[in-house]
Structure 1
């Protein structure tokens, strides 16, 4: 049976690898095949941020997308099963990230977190930005002083409801 013959196989095959194991295979195959995250996302007809997060183990993929991703990356049905499993989200190796790129986001929230919170509350009222109903975009903007990284965090506002 080929990987594309039976998408429903995901419902019957017990996961034999973890999402973390599958993510390591994705990184290896992405490099071996010379693929970019954007090329993978285009092939799967999904957003690049969502596909990257899903293949790195932070989202479950619908079965059909998981099967197509495994096929594209020349991985087994076991990897597709792992892609479709529910994740343990936000699992970092340490409470404070040590990777410089991730640490900078931690630093941004330490410095600007109270400001972001104050401005959200002033504009929207008492509530939070959803990380469930959420979109992420990363873009490059040319600048004479060096290219800029533009990160857009686009979450639905959820008002607190008391009582």
Structure 2
């Protein structure tokens, strides 16, 4: 019996198939009927997909059952230092380093003692035209979880 493909190997096949097919991430998400950022994250190995979602993704991308099997696995959600050094991802870390303390203060002032969930969470991205250069708008939408004693 062959071992189950790793999520990383499945993600490589997904990226290759998507590029070769000429599909955008949005087109793949639309075909699955799932949110764009969630779909992209799941296909890159950061969320488990249901059997139906994994099968549909593999049909759209022309991939096999071995990839679908890997897409259904529960991921390890760990910090990868190599990924964090990517300039785009690093800028998110930099933005949180600069604005994180202020966001924390403002969350506490508005909601009280608690945190924003990253589990009960939605994220979206959009492009906003601007005369000085288009803007990247990232919306982080997490449920507030109060500390209860």
- Give TM class, smaller chain: over 0.9
Which residue of 17, 30, 38 corresponds with 1:29?
Answer: 17
Q: CA deviation at 1:91?
A: 4.0
TM-score (norm 2): 0.96
Which residue of 27, 44, 57 corresponds with 1:39?
Answer: 27
Do the aligned partners of 1:22 and 1:83 also contact (CA within 8 Å) in 2? yes
| Closer, same or farther: CA 77–149 of 1 in aligned 2, 3 Å | same
Q: Show the counterpart of 1:48.
A: 36
* In 1, Cα distance between equivalents of 2:68 and 2:19: 18
Q: CA deviation at 1:15?
A: 5.6
Q: Show the counterpart of 2:86.
A: 99
**Matched residue of 1:138: which SS?**
strand
For structure 2, the 5+ residue unaligned runs are none
Extract structure 1 runs of 4+ deviating beyond 6 A: none
For structure 1, the 5+ residue unaligned runs are 1-12
TM-score (norm 1): 0.88
Size of the alignment, in residue pairs? 149
* In 1, Cα distance between equivalents of 2:31 and 2:116: 30
Q: Deviations over 1:46-78 (max 9, x none)?
A: 110110000000000011011111111111101
- Considering only aligned residues, what root-mean-square deviation do their CA atoms show, in Å? 1.5
Q: Show the counterpart of 1:146.
A: 133
**Matched residue of 1:133: which SS?**
strand
